[in-house]
């Protein structure tokens, strides 16, 4: 990393997960090893093979938007506005006419307003005159970033990243680049997903990607466990306030941690499956460590992509061994998707935030449902119970269909 590049820090976090519609609720659930997975209640799932998901049950968009705004925003954009509001409050940051041109937004989502899209397709089939004039602005992925800007006023760089389950990992990494280039002082970066509708569950089910452990939903997401049978579809969001260290200190902001490195690669291998050994992920992690100026031996915690699918978990384990060598056996690795389920395009931001919280509080969240050892997944996955540990450097991985790999290095900033 070049010496002239500014240090980029995180000063605020907002989070919505199936464990709760706030940072405090979500983090409490993660620390306690509680599952947020349950039977689907948003619609009747009786005709689907998979009848479970990670639903956000305690979210009220009217806490953040007025009724007209809510009516004209898809749920994924409502999540975006809500977590941005939480993060700005957490950062004690006000956006004014004076600083607005130096504040930007970078937002990731894999499928955006898919619920709006499907509702309007069905309406159009019944009667073309019933299609909503708000369909297009509600469904397009970049509208989450647009809604945040219209709600809070930032006028700096504003765009969206779309790379399936790596989407918000890319949004954080791209926001880091924007700040390093000097094009903004502050970036609101994150991702949201709210695609919990019958056709989405059916489509992932048709791929045999989802767990069908309907009789025990809290045990369905079991990354790295020999009995895993697929991921659990979930909804959620996270927003991080990224600032240059100089800007944060000048306004007396509390600093949660540093976004120190970013790596991104493509597998160029298969539409859904990683290559043997997770070679693309290895390259992304090496790139991120080099960007941060960190050696593999300095990594103290890994928040794995860990989806609970047979292909991903074995390949990611192999990739971590290739990256860390003998050190791999000493590094705690957890998949918090065991508790949140897979929030798709929001996962990267949620899990980067979790790394920062883990370092802040000295608590590593567990990988729950570790019951049956898999000989191909033989690292320390912080099984079932959270662990006290002092960590200075954490690594967060995200991987998406299409072969997208993102690695982020988070660091505790020395006082």
Chain segment 352-371, per-residue pLDDT in tens: 999 999 999 999 999 999 99
8-16, strands of its sheet edge to edge? 158-161, 103-108, 186-193, 236-244, 8-16, 257-266, 404-411, 393-400, 301-303, 333-334
Extract the tokens encoding 396: 């967060």
Is the pLDDT at 123 greater than 50, yes or no? Answer: yes
Tell me the CB-side half-sphere exposure of residue 264, using CA atoms within 13 A.
17
Show the tokens assigned to 256. 């949660």
Say if residue 4's pLDDT is above 90: no
Bridge partners of 374?
A: 377
- Kindly list the distances between the CA atom of residue 63 and the CA atoms of 59, 147, 158, 238, 350, in Å, as whole numbers in the listed order: 8, 15, 24, 17, 21
pLDDT of 3: 54
Say which of 165, 239, 355, 377 is annotated catalytic: 165
Convert the pLDDT of each residue in 238-290 to its tens digit.
Answer: 999 999 999 999 999 999 999 999 999 999 999 999 999 999 999 999 999 99
At residue 307 the predicted structure's pLDDT band, cuts being 50, 70 and 90, is: very high
Catalytic entry in 170, 239, 247, 342: 342
From the candidates 170, 247, 305, 404, give the one annotated as an active-site residue: 305
Q: In this model, does residue 224 exceed pLDDT 60?
A: yes
305 catalytic? Reply is: yes
Q: Would you state the pLDDT for residue 316?
A: 98
Give the separation between CA 239 and CA 84, rounded to whole angstroms: 6
* pTM beyond 0.95, yes or no: yes
Identify the CATH assignment for 262-407 out of 3.40.47.10, 3.20.20.70, 2.60.40.1120, 3.40.50.300. 3.40.47.10
Q: What is the pLDDT of residue 2?
A: 44
- Domain ranges in the chain are 8-250, 262-407
> Does the active-site annotation cover 165?
yes
Q: How confident is the model at residue 414 (pLDDT cuts 50, 70, 90)?
A: confident
- Which of the four pLDDT bands, split at 50, 70 and 90, describes residue 415? low
Helix or strand or coil: residue 137? helix
Please, what sign has the CA dihedral across residues 88, 93, 96, 98? negative
Residue 185 DSSP SS3: coil
Q: 3-state class of 382 per DSSP? A: coil
CATH 3.40.47.10 fits 8-250, yes or no: yes
Q: Among this protein's residues, is 404 annotated catalytic?
A: no
Identify the sign of the CA torsion 311, 312, 315, 321: negative
| Mean pLDDT estimate for the chain | 97
- 333 pLDDT exceeds 90? yes
Check if the beta carbon of residue 213 is closer than 8 Å to that of residue 231.
no
* Tens digit of each residue's pLDDT (9 = 90 or more) over 63-120: 999 999 999 999 999 999 999 999 999 999 999 999 999 999 999 999 999 999 999 9
Matching fold, domains 8-250 and 262-407: yes
Q: What percent of the chain has pLDDT over 70?
A: 99
Please compute the mean of the pLDDT values over residues 141-147 and round it to a whole number. Answer: 98
Band the pLDDT of 1: cuts 50, 70, 90: very low
Find the mean pLDDT for residues 389-413: 97
Q: Which of 98, 251, 264 is nearest to 175 (CA)?
A: 264
């Amino acid at each position: 990393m070049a010496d002239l590049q500014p240090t980029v820090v995180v000063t605020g976090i907002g989070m919505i997960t199936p464990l709760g519609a706030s940072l405090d609720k979500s983090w409490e659930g993660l620390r306690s090893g509680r599952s947020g997975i349950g039977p689907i209640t948003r619609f009747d799932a009786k005709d689907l093979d998979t009848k479970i998901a990670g639903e956000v049950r305690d979210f009220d968009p009217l806490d953040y938007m007025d009724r007209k705004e809510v009516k004209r925003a898809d749920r994924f954009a409502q999540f975006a506005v809500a977590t941005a509001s939480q993060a700005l409050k957490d950062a004690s940051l006000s956006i004014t006419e004076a600083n607005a041109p130096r504040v930007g937004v970078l937002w990731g989502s894999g499928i955006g307003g898919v619920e709006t899209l499907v509702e309007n397709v069905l309406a159009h089939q019944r009667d073309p005159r019933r299609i909503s004039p708000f369909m297009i602005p509600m469904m397009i992925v970049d509208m989450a970033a647009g809604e945040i800007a219209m709600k809070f006023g930032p006028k700096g760089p504003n765009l969206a990243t779309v790379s399936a389950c790596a989407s918000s990992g890319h949004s954080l990494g791209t926001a880091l680049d924007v700040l390093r280039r000097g094009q903004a002082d502050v970036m609101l970066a994150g991702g949201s997903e709210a695609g919990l509708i019958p056709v989405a569950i059916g489509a992932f089910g048709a791929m045999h990607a989802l767990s069908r452990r309907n009789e025990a939903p809290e045990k369905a997401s079991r990354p790295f466990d020999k009995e895993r049978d697929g991921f659990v579809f979930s909804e959620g969001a996270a927003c991080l306030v990224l600032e240059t260290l100089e800007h944060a200190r000048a306004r007396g902001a509390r600093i949660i941690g540093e976004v120190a490195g970013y790596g991104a690669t493509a597998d160029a291998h298969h539409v859904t499956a990683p290559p043997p050994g997770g070679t693309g992920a290895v390259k992304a992690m090496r790139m991120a460590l080099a960007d941060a100026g960190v050696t593999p031996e300095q990594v103290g915690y890994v928040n794995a992509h860990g989806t609970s699918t047979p292909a991903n978990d074995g390949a990611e384990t192999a990739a971590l061994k290739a990256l860390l060598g003998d050190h791999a056996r000493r590094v705690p690795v957890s998949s918090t998707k065991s508790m949140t389920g897979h929030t798709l395009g929001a996962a990267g931001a949620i899990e980067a935030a979790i790394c920062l919280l883990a370092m802040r509080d000295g608590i590593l969240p567990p990988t729950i449902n570790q019951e049956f050892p898999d000989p191909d997944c033989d690292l320390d996955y912080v099984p079932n119970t959270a662990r006290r540990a002092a960590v200075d450097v954490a690594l967060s991985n995200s991987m998406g269909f299409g072969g997208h790999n993102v690695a982020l290095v988070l660091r505790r900033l020395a006082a």
